[in-house]
Amino acid sequence: MSVPLLSLRHVETWYGRIQALRGISIDVLEGGITTVLGSNGAGKTTILNTVAGVLDDQPEKGTIELAGSKINGLETEKIVASGIGYVPEGRQVFAELTVMENLEVGAYLRRDRKMKDDLEWVLGTFPILRQRSSQLAGTLSGGEQQMLAIGRALMTRPRLLMMDEPSLGLSPLLVARMFEAIVQVNERGVTILLVEQNARKALEIASFGYVIEDGRVVASGTSAELQANDDVREFYLGLKNDQLMADAQRWKRKKRWR
Ligand code: ATP
């Protein structure tokens, strides 16, 4: 079997005396979209922050490998340079800079001369950013800001792009566009690790998923397997609740007939 692009083994992360990750093992296969689902506080963001090396002296235990090479313990800059892009939660763009300047900032780690090619590649992926290139980022809509945040992370031409809740706070129409954009990035050859609360949408585009609760993996499988899993259906897809609502409405109608 081929080596996964990203592999976490028994990863433990602590915030002081609070243990947030309790031995997480996850594989992200090259070329696909892998999703991490779970409720608030489950540890999803902590997984991404641990991989990106932004938490001091973490992970406390375990190993993180990119294409078979250990990356835990490296500085964030080295992790980015090794091929990991990260779009943290909350559309973090520089509001006072133009769209173009935001993209150039994203490329600051590149010391080679390919920046122009990368810029073309990003603008080709998100044509809206070309249209808005001289506009201040702070004046973009929420969905456009999120695309800019993704575009900025793509400027380092990562092999793996990690995204934390890219659909958060967007209208249903923009959520659909955002998921299309993620598929588009993946089709251009970037492997995706997607953290989402919107389990339904995430499982529609992902090939494999992990469910995290209280810092542990409690379920994993192909998207089809997770969509068929009773607990996932009840707690993350809300399907049982839909059934309950439907039952309650039928009961109310029946009551009126009597
Ligand atoms: P959300 O969807 O709400 O972001 P999450 O699954 O991403 O949730 P994390 O943010 O990774 O969860 O948090 C995991 C656990 O670690 C939670 O119990 C949280 O309270 C705790 N935690 C997160 N950040 C810190 C911090 N800086 N200091 C202390 N505890 C933290």
At residue 137, the pLDDT reads 96
**How confident is the chain (258 residues) per 10-residue block, as mean pLDDT?**
89 96 97 94 96 94 96 92 93 92 80 78 91 96 92 93 93 90 94 94 96 96 93 78 58 53
pTM reported for the whole predicted model: 0.89
Q: What pLDDT was estimated at residue 194?
A: 98
Nearest CA to ligand 1 atom 19: 41
Mutate to test the pocket of ligand 1, among 8, 26, 36, 45 (most ligand atoms within 8 A of CB): 45
Give the Å distance between the CA of 123 and the centre of ligand 1: 34
Report which ligand 1 atom has the smallest distance to the Cα of 47: 11
Scan for tokens 């499988």, then name that residue: 221
How many angstroms separate the alpha carbon of residue 9 from the centre of ligand 1? 20
pLDDT at 243: 57
Kindly report the protein residue whose alpha carbon is nearest to atom 20 of ligand 1.
41
E strands present in the chain: 6-15, 18-28, 33-37, 61-66, 69-70, 84-87, 160-164, 191-196, 208-213, 216-222
8 A C-beta contact, residue 235 and residue 37: no
Residue 69 pLDDT: 95
Residues in the ligand 1 pocket, defined by CB under 6 Å = 15, 18, 20, 38, 40-46
Q: What is the pLDDT of residue 249?
A: 61
**Which residue among 11, 15, 193 is best mutated to probe the pocket of ligand 1, counting the most ligand atoms within 8 A of its Cβ?**
15
Distances in Å between the Cα of 90 and the Cα atoms of 104, 142, 150 are 20, 10, 11
Q: What spacing in Å lies between the alpha carbon of 231 and ligand 1's midpoint? A: 23
